[in-house]
Structure 1
């Protein structure tokens, strides 16, 4: 089956304006499909082995399984996670930022330490507040797209 790669995603991926300050570069081993729970040293995970089903892009009011969200990262989605205790005002501001954005997943995460973690394939960024200007920069530069192995694959129709 041939995959359609959206021109807008290609434009976002080809930006040459350098890395955003604080973005970590991680090298997850492999992008294989694997059933069951997967343990990763990084929380939330930003790549590596993941479930064969991907997480539908959208806004969620509960934590998700990393294994599904990582599959969405493989497809070029950005995954924004917040601690469970993120103040309501910040959570609402974050929802407004991602509302209507294609290839974006927003959820809380039970075990992360930073208030917010923005993840693209192998590129997590921890921030303290939604007002941090790097949040918008990250959404424009690294999510959607970034360096994901299968940019443009479906971000709907499964979990």
Structure 2
């Protein structure tokens, strides 16, 4: 083989080697990019999900400490489907424990008052209810603004009017109440973060957030 032919063969071999290296590099780059995107997606999902989960180690039933006032636990049970709670059955207004309806209401914002026996079922699953006097729209708007900034909102939260409460705002969790004359963000946040997810029955029902002030 002549020197010219040999050089041509060598150059062709070098070109093939360079093309092969570029191809391997492109495949490696695509792989690294895919892994990076997947990792970023996982981090985003974790960042969204973790704040919405309650801490399983805490239990509102195990300690008398924490925000609010302890209310005697009336136990748990279900009224027959469609049967309301008897008048005067619950030991607080709003109620915090006791026999309740088989069904529960969705989380988030409501524009209509929620029946006592339904409230208790949500509390049993670890919900925190924030209820306001329906005659004070400023209180309502301020309360909603704070609620929407709580960790994990709207999971495990309900905001609704209640014409039966004697104070402008009533916060309830299982066997726990707190009443407010004004909107106090620090108190509301402390109560919500202390008792969210701490009902006696683990695992909240499904939560489909509704539109602002829309009742199910």
Q: What is the TM-score with the length of structure 2 in the denominator?
A: 0.61
Pair 1:75-2:125 in alignment: yes
Alignment deviations for residues 1-44 of structure 1 (CA, whole Å, 9 cap, x no partner)? xxxxx88312583699x412xx1111232210113121323111
2:203 aligned to 136, 144, 152, which one?
152
Partner residue of 1:54 out of 104, 107, 130: 104
In the comparison of the two structures, how many residue pairs are matched? 147
Counterpart check, 1:89 vs 2:147: no
Alignment pair present for 1:105 and 2:150: no
Residue equivalent to 1:137: 190
Deviation, structure 1 residue 101: 2.8
Provide the aligned C-alpha RMSD in A. Answer: 2.4
Q: Which of structure 1's runs of 4+ aligned residues deviate more than 4 A?
A: none
Q: Considering only CA atoms, is the larger Rg found in Structure 1 or Structure 2?
A: 2
Q: Name whichever structure is richer in helix by fraction.
A: 2
Structure 2 partner of 1:3: none
Ranges in structure 1 where 5+ consecutive residues have no aligned partner? 1-5
Any idea what the Cα deviations from partners look like across 1:62-106, whole Å, max 9, x if unmatched? 1111111110100000011111222x2221121122223311011
Does the CA-based 8 Å contact 1:76-1:145 persist in structure 2?
yes
**Distance in 2 (alpha carbons) for counterparts of 1:14 and 1:73:** 13
Task: Give the Å deviation of 1:155.
Answer: 4.1
Unaligned runs of 5+ in 2: 1-49, 209-215
Question: Distance in 2 between the 1:31 and 1:114 partners?
Answer: 27
* TM-score, structure 1 normalization: 0.81
Q: Which structure carries more relative contact order (alpha carbon 8 Å, separation 6+)?
A: 1
Describe the SS at the equivalent of 2:177: strand
Task: Tell me the equivalent position of 2:170.
Answer: 117
